[in-house]
Amino acid sequence: MCQLLFFENYYRGHYFKQKTTTFRVAVLTAYVYNYVFEN
């Protein structure tokens, strides 16, 4: 039971980290596009 809870938390944390990374990449891409089109 404890192990199952550990795996659930691990996968949830991994999924959340993945979402955060995707969000960061999207923001960075938008920033770069903005910078390129401004100049």
13: CB partners within 8 A, 6+ apart: none
For 39, which DSSP code? -
Question: From the first residue on, what is the mean pLDDT of each consecutive set of 10 residues in the chain (39 residues)?
Answer: 75 81 91 88
pTM: 0.51
Distance between CA atoms of residues 29 and 31, nearest Å: 5
Distance between CA atoms of residues 29 and 22, nearest Å: 10
What pLDDT score does 1 carry? 53
